[in-house]
């Protein structure tokens, strides 16, 4: 596998070099964009309640450099460099925290270039694996407040019973198993045919994945869907592979439905997650949704991590969103008594600049 | 509450539904993942495009904003159509051509910046002041000769320019335009 990756890399570099050598540039652009996404978060674990001022990890504060260069014969080359900087990420807040988190730094998200052609697109660098976001297709318009990755808001809070914390966090008891996230990899996307396109990527430690996506507009509704198979290669001793999928439909009168199903082959437990969301977009600037999800077998065999969520997003201007969300995190333990539920509410805003 | 088995039934049903619906004359649309990603669309400072374009060989501007560029194209096109003077309108590319013309002017201004500054210094001299007075009178005459419609359009154009550019740079750019008009006038005087 390693040899194949090396060969693939060499071939990709040669192809890119050839494209650059034979085709004169006829259009170039380079741009900067970014966003700030901050919120106030209130959490109550049944024993302790606190306010936190956080960076919303649903869509973190970040900026990016992007550029592309069009060449003759439908060829193009582009770059993407995206970094995030979060002070108090919402997914790491916990009741032991005093003051702010201190190690605020830039985190890499995407550092890659791509080569586009009529035969598809090749990506090289740190970026989305083919399966990334295949559990997160969502047309509700409330993703900034709540979506299938319910741990992005209160993932760091720990369950307790009678003041005794059992070491299991929200993030440790539920997941949407969204493929292999972002990695250093090479990725290929096919051209889109009748709304469908396929992707495949290979990364370090022999990880690989393949995905199929669809997006269609029927006039009376838009439908988007994705599914992926991801293999951990030699990168994990406990996890083997992931199947992830999701679909979302948005009717032209604003009603929308979203669902996701994913599971991970893992030593002795094989956790899975199922997620459903109903939303409504109204008066052009408003979107609201209700969602429910269950992850089973993640914190322990037959444990159930249920999450109920409500979200509302108001977009007074295209560049600005204000939102509010409420999550109820529950844990049904197979062994021992169930801990208290955790309530989390968050209000904030996202401003693109 | 519920008992789910980790099987691919949901994926299978979704797949079947997709293929069924794909045959219903659906048009593909460019769905980009939004969950966890950066907000798509316009930005507070970057206009409709949502990004600060540092360099764009097609649009031809330095720090152009899409919203301004579009407005520029529309207004320029409207002005040209009203005057009935432009061949670009016939070509159907008024917006791009207008933007490009403006960019060319901007580049020319940059090239002649030093000369323009010399002109400004000269204007401060007494000789310059006398000539300037005559030049300003000439400009007034031009405005009255052209009539109010053109002047109104010109003012609209200036308003647009002010909203899209930093005032200091724009002022200097306008002064440079006056300088070019002055040069033309001087040439006419010599003849």
Q: What domains, with CATH codes, occur in chain A?
A: 2-352 (2.40.160.10)
Q: What is the pLDDT of residues A273-295, one digit of tens each?
A: 999 999 999 999 999 999 999 99
- Interface contact A217-B45, CB threshold 8 A: no
- Which residues, other chains included, contact B75 with Cβ-Cβ below 8 Å and sequence gap of 6+? B156, B157, B160
Nearest to A133 among B1, B36, B49 (CB): B36
What is the pLDDT averaged over residues B158-163? 61
When the pLDDT of each residue in chain B is averaged and rounded to a whole number, the result is 65
pLDDT band at residue A225 under the 50/70/90 scheme: very high
Overall pTM surpassing 0.90 (yes/no): no
Q: Is there a contact between A82 and B38 if contact means CB atoms under 8 Å apart? A: yes
Average pLDDT over residues A11-28: 54
User: How close is the nearest chain A Cα to the Cα of B64, in Å?
Assistant: 10
Question: Which residues on chain A are in Cβ contact (under 8 Å) with B35?
Answer: 58-59, 133, 136-138, 143, 147-149
| Residue of B2, B27, B39 with shortest CB distance to A35 | B39
Percent of chain A residues past pLDDT 70, beyond the cut? 93
**The pLDDT of residue B172:** 76
- pLDDT number for residue A231: 97
CA dihedral A140, A145, A147, A152 (to 10 degrees): 160
Contacts A25 to B, Cβ<8 Å = 57
Predicted confidence (pLDDT) at residue B87 exceeds the cutoff of 50: no
pLDDT score for B75: 38
Alpha carbon distance A288, A150 (integer Å)? 16
Q: Which of B4, B22, B35 sits opposite A143 (nearest CB)?
A: B35
Question: B8, A321 in Cβ contact below 8 A?
Answer: no
Q: What is the pLDDT of residues A126-168, one digit of tens each?
A: 999 999 999 999 999 999 999 999 999 999 999 999 999 989 9
What's the start-to-end Cα distance of chain A, in Å? 43
Cβ neighbours for A187, distance < 8 A, ≥ 6 positions apart: A122, A123, A124, A127, A128, A129, A130, A199, A200, A201
What residues in B contact A31, CB-CB < 8 Å?
A: 49, 51-54, 56
Cα–Cα separations (whole angstroms), residue A132 to A66, A151, A183 = 20, 16, 10
Q: What is the pLDDT of residue A211?
A: 97
- Pairwise CB contact (< 8 Å): B34 & A227: no
**pLDDT at residue B41, rounded to an integer:** 87
Residue pLDDT, tens place only, A228-250? 999 999 999 999 999 999 999 99
Q: Which residues from B are below 8 Å from A195, CB to CB? A: 22, 26-29
How many C-beta atoms lie closer than 10 Å to residue A13's C-beta?
Answer: 11
Contacts of A59 in chain B (CB under 8 A): 35-39
Q: How far apart are the C-alpha atoms of A266 and A268, rounded to whole Å?
A: 6
pLDDT at A327: 98
Q: Spell out which residues of chain A touch residue B3, defining contact as CB-CB under 8 Å.
A: none
Which sequence spans correspond to the domains of chain B? 66-190
CB atoms within 10 A of CB A313: 25
| pLDDT-derived band at A333, boundaries 50, 70, 90 | very high
8 A C-beta contact, residue A56 and residue A90 = yes
- Examine the pLDDT at B36 and tell me if it is beyond 90: no
Q: Is the pLDDT of residue A188 over 80?
A: yes
**Alpha helix stretches (DSSP H) within A49-179:** 151-154
Put simply, the answer to whether A216 touches B21 (Cβ < 8 Å) is yes
Measured from the Cβ of residue B85, the count of other Cβ atoms closer than 10 Å reads 10
b/e B50-66 (16+ beta carbons within 10 angstroms → b): bbbbeebeebbbeebbb
Mutate which of A63, A352, A353 to disrupt the B interface (most B C-beta within 10 Å)? A352
Contact between residue A107 and residue A215 where contact means Cβ atoms under 8 Å apart: no
The enclosing H or E element of B102 equals helix B94-111
Q: pLDDT, tens digit, for every residue of B117-127? A: 777 776 666 55
Gap between the Cα atoms of A218 and B106, Å rounded: 46
């Amino acid at each position: 596998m390693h040899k194949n990756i090396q060969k693939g890399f060499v071939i990709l570099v040669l192809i890119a070099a050839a494209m650059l050598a034979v085709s004169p540039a006829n259009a170039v652009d380079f741009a900067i964009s970014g966003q700030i996404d901050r919120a106030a978060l209130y959490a109550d674990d049944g024993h302790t309640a606190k306010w936190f001022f956080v960076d919303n990890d649903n869509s973190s504060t970040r900026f990016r450099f992007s550029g592309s260069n069009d060449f003759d014969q439908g060829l193009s080359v582009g770059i993407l460099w995206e970094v995030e900087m979060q002070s108090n990420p919402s997914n790491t807040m916990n009741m032991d925290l005093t003051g702010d988190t201190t190690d605020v730094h830039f985190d890499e998200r995407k550092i890659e270039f791509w080569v586009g052609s009529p035969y598809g697109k090749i990506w090289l660098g740190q970026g989305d694996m083919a399966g990334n976001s295949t559990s997160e297709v969502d047309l509700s318009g409330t993703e900034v407040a709540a979506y299938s990755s319910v741990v992005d808001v209160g993932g760091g809070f720990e369950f307790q019973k009678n003041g005794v914390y059992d070491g299991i966090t929200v993030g440790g008891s539920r997941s949407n198993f969204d493929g292999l996230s972002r990695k250093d990899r090479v990725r290929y996307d096919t051209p889109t045919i009748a709304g469908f396109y396929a992707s495949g990527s290979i990364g370090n430690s022999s990880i690989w994945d393949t995905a199929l996506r669809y997006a269609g507009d029927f006039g009376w509704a838009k439908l988007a869907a994705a599914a992926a198979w991801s293999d951990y290669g030699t990168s994990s001793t406990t996890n083997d592979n992931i199947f992830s999928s999701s679909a979302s439909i948005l009717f032209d009168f604003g009603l929308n439905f979203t669902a996701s199903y994913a599971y991970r082959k893992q030593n002795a437990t094989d956790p899975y997650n199922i997620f459903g969301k109903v939303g409504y977009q109204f008066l052009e600037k408003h979107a609201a949704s209700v969602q429910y999800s269950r992850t089973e077998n993640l914190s322990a065999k037959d444990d159930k991590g249920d999450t109920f969520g409500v979200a509302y997003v108001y977009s007074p201007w295209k560049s600005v969103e204000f939102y509010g969300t409420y999550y109820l995190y529950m844990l049904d333990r197979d062994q021992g008594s169930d801990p208290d539920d955790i309530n989390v509410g968050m209000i904030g805003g996202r401003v693109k600049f | 509450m519920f008992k789910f088995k980790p099987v691919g039934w949901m994926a299978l049903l979704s797949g079947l539904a997709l293929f069924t619906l794909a045959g219903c004359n659906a048009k593909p649309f460019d769905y980009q993942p939004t969950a966890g990603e950066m907000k798509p669309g316009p930005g507070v400072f970057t206009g409709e495009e949502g990004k600060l374009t540092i360099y764009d060989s097609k649009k031809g501007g330095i720090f152009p904003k899409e919203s301004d560029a579009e407005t520029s194209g529309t207004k320029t096109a409207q002005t040209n159509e009203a005057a009935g003077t432009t061949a670009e309108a016939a070509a159907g590319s008024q917006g791009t051509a207008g933007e490009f013309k403006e960019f060319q002017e901007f580049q020319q201004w940059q090239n002649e910046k030093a000369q323009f500054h010399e002109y400004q210094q000269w204007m401060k001299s007494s000789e310059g002041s006398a000539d300037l007075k005559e030049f300003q009178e000439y400009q007034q005459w031009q405005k009255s000769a052209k009539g109010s419609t053109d002047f109104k359009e010109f003012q609209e154009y200036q308003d647009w320019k002010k909203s899209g550019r930093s005032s200091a740079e724009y002022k200097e750019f306008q002064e440079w335009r006056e300088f070019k008009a002055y040069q033309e006038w001087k040439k006419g005087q010599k003849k």
